[in-house]
Amino acid sequence: MIRRLFDLAGALVLFVALSPLLLAGSLAVLVTSGRPILFGHHRLGRDGRPFRCLKLRTMTVGAERHLEREPALKSRYVANGFKLPNGNDPRVTRVGRVLRRTYIDEIPQLLNVVSGSMSLIGPRPIVPEELAEYGEGARELLRTRPGIIGAWTVRGRDRPTYPARASIELEYVRNRTPGRDFGILLRSIPVVLRGQDDA
């Protein structure tokens, strides 16, 4: 209950504080590539329940179908931990690269926190195909509500891919404490200010 209250209070405060950036990002998406402004990517939540992880749309419309039409691109996507570097992903728009680099595209996930599908701090939500990377620890991972930031994400540009990512996330789940969460929160500040790399 205490953690949930912290999530609600923190998400509401951050949403109000970051609303000017969210508005600017939304207008940039609308003017340069039209609607929809938001994109909800299907992820696995607590207890394996699927939910739509909200972001400002940074890709062209129909980007997921683009991935399925190009086997070579899909192979690179899987090999890179189910993600493509911004600078090497042809689906990402010019404005989308800026939104991703500055993490502005992630602000709508505060609404996921308010709805209860995510937490402020926790392992990043995964797509169903990623679950196999966690092996016998998959059930442990799904017992925890996924977060906007976590032990893996605060590594910033030095974030490893699988299987190291799975080890980091599971170690956090097994040793989670309020003190550790607070430390992750503090470490996220320089990561966000530095921004993501396009490489």
pLDDT for 80: 78
Total-model pTM: 0.89
The per-residue pLDDT for range 92-136, each reduced to its tens digit, is 899 999 999 999 999 999 999 999 999 999 999 999 999 999 999
Beta strands 147-149 and 119-121: pairing type?
Answer: parallel
The residues near 49 (Cβ < 8 Å, ≥ 6 apart) are: 117
Q: Evaluate if residue 199 carries a pLDDT over 70.
A: no
pLDDT digits (tens, 9 = 90+) for 74-92: 888 888 778 777 677 888 8
Mean pLDDT on 8-23: 97
Amino acid 127: pLDDT: 93
Q: Where are the alpha helices (DSSP H) in 37-154?
A: 63-69, 71-79, 94-101, 109-115, 138-142
> In DSSP terms, which residues pair with 149 in a beta bridge?
121
pLDDT over 70, % of the chain: 98
Question: pLDDT: is 198 or 68 the higher one?
Answer: 68
Can you give the residue ranges of every domain in the chain? 2-194
Distance of alpha carbon 70 from alpha carbon 47, whole angstroms: 32
Residue 175 has a pLDDT of 96
CA distance 127 to 78: 11
Tell me what the mean pLDDT of segment 131-157 comes to. Answer: 95
Could you tell me the two tokens for 73? 């691109």
Q: Report residue 43 CA to chain centroid gap.
A: 10
